[in-house]
Amino acid sequence: MTWEYRTIKLAAEGWFLGGKLDVTKLDQMMNDVGRDGWELVAAFDTNQVYGNTKDAVLIFKRPRDR
């Protein structure tokens, strides 16, 4: 089986150098890509300074049609 991958980067919003993700937007985005057959396989944040999050990166995969 072969796979195709999709990476989505979400910016954290908030005061100064980072903050929080909008969970409602995150849920909607994940439901949208899930309906298209994508499965979440990894998620991580990018640390800016002093533990502040700049972005969240989500990696999805799905079987590739041959």
| Domain ranges within the chain, ordered by starting residue | 3-63
pLDDT at 2 over 90: yes
pLDDT at 17 over 60: no
Give the separation between CA 18 and CA 49, rounded to whole angstroms.
9
Q: Give the predicted TM-score (pTM) of the model.
A: 0.79
Residue type for position 45: D
Residue type for position 65: D
Q: Give pLDDT tens digits for 19-66.
A: 677 889 899 999 999 999 999 999 988 876 666 667 889 999 999 986
